[in-house]
Structure formats: C-alpha cells, structure tokens
Amino acid sequence: NKSVIFLNHPTGFPVVGQDFAVQSRELEVNLQPNDVLVKNLYISLDPYMRGRMSSHKSYVAGFEIGKPMLASGVSEVIESKNASFPVGTIVTGFVGWEEYSVISGAQDLRPLPDARNSKIPLSSYVGVLGMPGLTAYSSLKVIGQPKAGETIFISAASGAVGQLVGQIAKRQGLRVVGSAGSDDKVEYLLKELKFDAAFNYKTGSILESLKKHIPEGIDIYYENVGGETLEAVLEVMNTNGRIIACGMISQYNATSPYGVKNLMQFVSKRLMMRGFIVFDFAEECSADFAKDVGTWLVKGEIIYKEDVAEGIDSAPDAFIGMLKGKNFGKQVVKIADL
Ligand code: NDP
C-alpha cells in the first residue's frame, strides 16, 4: 500500500523527502465490526492542508508525524464489516493519501448512491460538489449577501473555490472581476467563465489593475490570498463593502507575514470583513447547495475545471505545485479507476 507519510513540520514551502514522502507499507487488514476497507479513487489536495503540516494549533488537528496525510476522497468499499456500506459502495469522506485505507467504524463516510452511473465525474464529489463547492456557495450567500448590480472582485479566481464563486455571482446579476496568476488562467476567466474583467496579478501593479478594471469600486471582495492584494483592494472598496475572508494563501508558506498598512480604510468606509470555516454554514446551506449546484452542473449551466495528477506518486509534487499556483483548476489526484 503506497502512502504519502508526513515526516516533518515544514518551514516555508514543504520539501518532498524531508517533510513528506511516498512510502510502501504492508497493508494490514484486520477489520473489526463496522470497519471498512476502501480503495481510494480520487483524493483532494487543498491549501488548508499546509496548516495541518504546521505545529501551530488551529481549527483542525495537525497531521501526525509518521502517519499518512489525510484528505477528503472518493473511494470504493472493497471489504466490509458494516451493513450500511456493503462492498461496491462508492463513498466520500476522510481517507489517507494512499491507495487503500481502513476506515475504523466507517467514521464520517457518506455513501454516494448515484455516483456509479452518474454523468458527473467522480472527482466532482471532492470539488464542485464537495468541500470547495460548499465553501463558495455558502460564504457568498451568508457573508456576501450579493445583490444584482453590485461588483464582486475574486482573487485566486480560477481555482477550486474562486471559479464557482464567480459563476454563481454572474447568475445573480453581479459584475464579476477576478485575478489569477497566469495569462492562461485570465483567458479562462474571460472566455469560459464569462467574467466581466480579469487580470494577471503577477504582471503589473495590483492597485493599478483594480483601478483600471473596477472604476466603480468593489462592493464584495472574495478574499482567497491576503497580503498585497488585500491591501490594494481596501483602497478601492466602496462604502459599506463586505469582505468574505475565505483564505490567505499568500501567507501560508511565508516566513515573514505581510503587514497590511491601510486598515484605517475599514473605519472610513464602514467595511465588514468576516472569516469562516466551511463547516460553519454546512447545516444552513448543504441541502440548497447540493440541489442548486448539482442541477446547474447537470444542465451545463456552470462548468468546473479540474487539474488531475495521476497516481499516488504524483501527490507530493502536485500539492507543492498547488501552493505555488501550478494547478489550473481544482487540484485532485487520481489514484485508481473504479
Ligand atoms: P486554488 O484551487 O485556488 O489553488 C490555490 C491557488 O492560490 C493557486 O492556484 C494560486 O493561483 C493561488 N496562489 C498561490 N500562492 C499565491 C500568492 N502568493 N498570491 C496569490 N495567489 C496565490 O485553491 P482553493 O480554491 O482550494 O482555495 C482558495 C482559498 O480558499 C485558499 O486561501 C484556501 O485556504 C481557502 N479555503 C478556505 C476554506 C474555508 O473553509 N474558509 C475552504 C476551502 C478553501 P494563481 O495562479 O491565481 O496565483
């Protein structure tokens, strides 16, 4: 059983071989009542995992040194002592970054009864129909409270969360502007996702780009990156603007944090900034999310780009690549075919 084992708390960007590595270990299967053995088909690689590699206390427990790293996955039950999860059931839940996982008591697994014969790719259940999708849908609704005619600006706009935020905001009649880290990504935002404007934040002044593309000012900022982008955004926010603090990826590997210098803008412009973690709104939004996004996806009214790394061996490099912006769309790893 090949797994990605957590070895060390990284400083700066994680290093393969030093902080985590693929190792082959004997698969010990001694299922107790209610346990299942799953074959992992896809795992999701997400920015928050960098926090789980840190020794700092956070809202989610750190990875254990010497153990496989954990991810949400889509898996097939191949041995079962749990009547609710017979062999052949497709499930989603937390698994190791590995080929096979024993899930004690089938803990937190959710069956996906429609997945086997669905037109929707299996990987969607950890992407647009999974955690990143719920993040986008729920926070835009609850914190953003968007209204037709307003302008939203989204950073990391072509990524797992950003691309869905933008498409939902367009459906709701907002003017949608995004930033991304390459010209290809910007073209995707404009041509495929029909953003009203987009720019590459790496090739010019972020503040000048914001002023050029959003002369009317920003009503809602969907914050994925923090740092210099946040500082520039504060200059062009409109009075009573809302900032949805989803993440600040520019800071996750930074050895010295970026000091935002213009926080006084909050006072003069009566800005509101609210952070959240995806599960905060799950109870309130999960049912509507599954219905709405599932329907839009099946009807082809929204699209969703994924970046699929092949095989468990590719997972560590794909993870580092995602933290550096090499992913184009939601980063997943395909481990096996169904
Ligand atoms: P993405 O698919 O967007 O991948 C990460 C992207 O971040 C990269 O592709 C890169 O895109 C961008 N990026 C990396 N470094 C920088 C940098 N220094 N400055 C600006 N952009 C950078 O990831 P997700 O959509 O999964 O996550 C987006 C954000 O949402 C993250 O901050 C994440 O932590 C947060 N999040 C929060 C959740 C919550 O519950 N609060 C849940 C899920 C995600 P580019 O090429 O455009 O630079």
Is residue 277 lining ligand 1, measured as CB closer than 6 Å?
yes
Rounded to 5°, angle at Cα 84 from 79 and 90: 60
Q: What is the DSSP string of 294-337?
A: HHHHHTTSS---EEEEESGGGHHHHHHHHHTT--SSEEEEE---
Number of C-beta neighbours around residue 184 at 10 A: 12
Give the domains, in start order, of the chain with CATH numbers: 2-127+306-334 (3.90.180.10), 131-279 (3.40.50.720)
Q: Is 138 in the pocket of ligand 1 (CB under 6 A)?
A: no
- List the alpha helices (DSSP H) in the chain: 49-52, 131-139, 162-171, 183-187, 206-213, 227-236, 264-268, 282-298, 315-323
Q: Give pLDDT tens digits for 64-115.
A: 999 999 999 999 999 999 999 999 999 999 999 999 999 999 999 999 998 9
> Which of 137, 138, 225 for a ligand 1 pocket mutation test, highest count of atoms within 8 Å of Cβ?
225
Q: pLDDT by residue (tens digit) across 157-190? A: 999 999 999 999 999 999 999 999 999 999 999 9
Ligand 1 neighbourhood includes 160 CB (under 6 angstroms): yes
Question: Is 165 touching ligand 1 by the criterion CB < 6 Å?
Answer: no
Q: Distance from the CA of 161 to the center of ligand 1, in angstroms?
A: 8
Mutate to test the pocket of ligand 1, among 126, 137, 161 (most ligand atoms within 8 A of CB): 161
Residue nearest to atom 17 of ligand 1 (CA): 250
pLDDT confidence bin for 46, thresholds 50/70/90: very high
Asked if residue 247 has its Cβ within 6 Å of ligand 1, the reply is yes
The helix/strand/coil state of 158 is coil
CB of 163 closer than 6 A to ligand 1?
no
Nearest CA to ligand 1 atom 28: 224
Full DSSP string of 232-248 = HHHHHEEEEEEEEE---
Between the alpha carbon of residue 77 and those of residues 25, 33, 105, 131, 304, the distances in Å are 20, 15, 13, 21, 27
Q: 129-158 pLDDT, tens per residue? A: 999 999 999 999 999 999 999 999 999 999
Distance 37 CA to ligand 1 centre (A): 32
For 213-254, write each residue's pLDDT tens digit: 999 999 999 999 999 999 999 999 999 999 999 999 999 999
Which atom of ligand 1 is nearest to 250's Cα?
A: 18
Interface confidence, given as ipTM, is: 0.99
Name the closest-CA residue to atom 24, ligand 1: 160
Question: 153 with 221: CB under 8 angstroms?
Answer: yes
Question: Which residue has the least CA distance to atom 45 on ligand 1?
Answer: 181
pLDDT at 280: 98
224 C-beta closer than 6 A to ligand 1: yes
Q: In what order do the strands lie in the sheet with 197-200?
A: 197-200, 175-180, 151-154, 218-223, 237-245, 272-275
Is the CB–ligand 1 distance for residue 123 below 6 Å?
no
Nearest residue (CA) to ligand 1, atom 48: 181
Q: Indicate whether residue 72 lines ligand 1 (CB < 6 A).
A: no
Q: CA-to-CA distance for 315 and 138, rounded, in angstroms? A: 28
Quick one: what percent of the chain has pLDDT higher than 70?
100
For residue 283, the CA-to-ligand 1 centroid distance in Å is: 24
What CA–CA distance (Å, rounded) separates 217 from 317?
Answer: 38
